[in-house]
Amino acid sequence: MAEVFHCTTSNGIILSNCWFAFGAYGTKHPLRATKVEEFFIGKVLSVGVLYEAVKLLGAIVVPEFAHTTISRCLGIPEHNVRVITRRVGGGFGGKCFRAMPVATACAVAAYKLQRPVRIYMNRKTDMIIAGGRHPMKLTYSVGFKSDGKITALDILINAGISVDVSPIMPHHIVETLKMYDWGALSFDIKLCKTNHSSKSAMRAPGEVQATFTAEAVIEHVATTLSLDVDSVRSKNLHNFNSLVFFFEGSAGEPVEYTLPSIWNKLAISSSFKERTEKIKQFNTCNKWQKRGISRVPIVHEVALTPTPGKISILSDGSVAVEVGGIELGQGLWTKVKQMAAFALSSIQCDEMGDFLEKIRVIQADTLSLIQRGLTAGSTKSESTCEAIRLCCNMLVERLILINKKLQEQMGSVKWSTLILQIRGNEICTFPEFLKNEDGSALLLDSRRYSWYSPVSIEELQRSLSSVENGNGSRVKVVVGNIGMSYYYKELESFDKYIDLRCVPELSMIRRDDIRMIIGATVRISKAIEALREGNIVWKKIADHMEKVASRFVRNSASLGGNLVMAQRNHFPSDIAIVLLAVGLLVNLMNGLKSEEITMEEFLRMPELDSKSILVSVKIPDWDRIMSISSGTKMKLLFETYRATSRPLGNALPYSNATLMAKISRCASSDGMVVSDYRFAFGAYGTKHTIRATKVEEFLTGKVLSVDVLYEAVKLLRSIVVLDDDTSYPAYRSSLAAGFLFEFFSHLVEGNAESPNGYMNGYSTLMSPARHLDHGKVSTFLTSGKQEVELNKQYHPVDEPIAKSGAVIQASGEAVYVDDIPSPTKCLHGAFIFSTKPLARVKGIELKPKSVADGVNAVISFKDILGENLGIKTGFGPEPLFADDFTRCTGQYIALVVADTQKHADMAADLAVVDYDMENLEPPILSVEEVVRKSSFFEVPSFFQPKQVGDFSKGMAEADHKILSAEIKLGSQYYFYMETQTALAVPDEDNCIVVYSSIQAPEYAQSTISRCLGIPEHNVRVITRRVGGGFGGKAMEAIPVATACALAAYNLRRPVPMHMNRKTDMKTTGGRHPMEVTYGVGFKEDGKMTALHLDILINAGIGVDISPIIPLFMVDAIKKYDWVAFSFDIKVCRTNHSSKSAMRGPGEVQGTFISEAVIEHVASVLSMDADSEYTLPSIWDKLAASSSFKERTDMIKQFNMCNKWQKGGISRVPIVHEVLLQSNPGKVSILGDGSVAVEVGGIELGQGLWTKVKQMTAFSLSAIQCDGMGDFLEKIRIIQADTLSLVQGGLTAGSTTSECSCEAVRICCNILVERLTPIKEKFQEQMGSVEWGILILEATRQAVNLSASSYYVPDSSSMQYLNYGVGVSEVEVNLLTGQTTILQSEIIYDCGQSLNPAVDLGYIEGAFVQGIGFFMLEEYLSNSDGLVIPEGTWTYKIPTDGTIPRQFNVEIMNSGHHKKRLISSKASGEPPLLLAVSVHCATRVAIREARKQLLHWKGLNESDLTFQLEVPATMPIVKKLCGLENVEIYLQSLLS
Question: C-alpha distances in angstroms, 819 versus 382, 435, 815, 843?
Answer: 42, 10, 6, 35
Contact by Cβ (8 Å): 596, 586: yes
CB under 8 Å to 1346, separation ≥6 — which residues? 308, 369, 370, 371, 1226, 1227, 1228, 1229
How is 341-372 classified by DSSP, letter by letter?
HHHHGGG--BS-TTGGGGEEE--EETTTS---
Q: Where are the beta strands (DSSP E) in 65-143?
A: 84-85, 136-139
The answer to whether residues 1468 and 1451 touch, using CB atoms and an 8 Å cutoff, is no
Kind of pairing between the strands at 1205-1219 and 1359-1373: antiparallel
* CA–CA separation, 1251 and 804 (whole Å): 9
Q: Could you count the other beta carbons within 10 Å of the beta carbon of residue 1422? A: 11
Contact 935, 924 (CB under 8 A): yes
Please list the residues that pair with 1336 across neighbouring strands: none
Q: How far apart are CA 251 and CA 1026, in angstroms?
A: 57
**Distance between CA 922 and CA 1425 in Å, rounded?**
13
Tell me the C-alpha distance between 706 and 747, whole Å: 10
Distance CA 1517, CA 1374 (A): 8
Positive or negative, the CA dihedral 66, 67, 68, 73 is positive
Contacts of 1012 (CB under 8 A, 6+ apart): 865, 866, 992, 1018, 1019, 1045, 1046, 1049
What are the φ/ψ torsions at residue 671 (nearest 5 degrees)?
-80, 180
Please give the angle made by the CA atoms of 1400, 1454 and 1459, to the nearest 5 degrees. 105
Query: Contact 302/175 with Cβ under 8 angstroms?
Result: no
Alpha carbon separation from 1450 to 1174, 1218, 1298 (Å, rounded): 19, 21, 20
**Residues in a beta bridge with 1055:** 984
Residues taking part in catalysis: 1469
Q: How many whole angstroms separate alpha carbon 1530 and alpha carbon 755? A: 18
Terminal-to-terminal C-alpha distance of the chain:
138
Residue type, 399: L
Omega cis (within 30) before 30: no
- Give the C-alpha distances (Å, rounded to integers) separating 1293 from 1269, 1298, 1473, 1519: 34, 11, 14, 37
User: Smallest Cα–Cα separation from 1056: which of 1069, 1066, 1047?
Assistant: 1047
Strand partners, 321: 311, 361
Q: Cβ(1520)–Cβ(1489) under 8 Å?
A: yes
Q: Give CA–CA dist 985/437, Å, rounded.
A: 14
Hey, which residues does 136 pair with through a beta bridge? 157
* Ramachandran quadrant class, 287 (left: phi over 0; alpha: psi -120 to 50; beta: rest): alpha
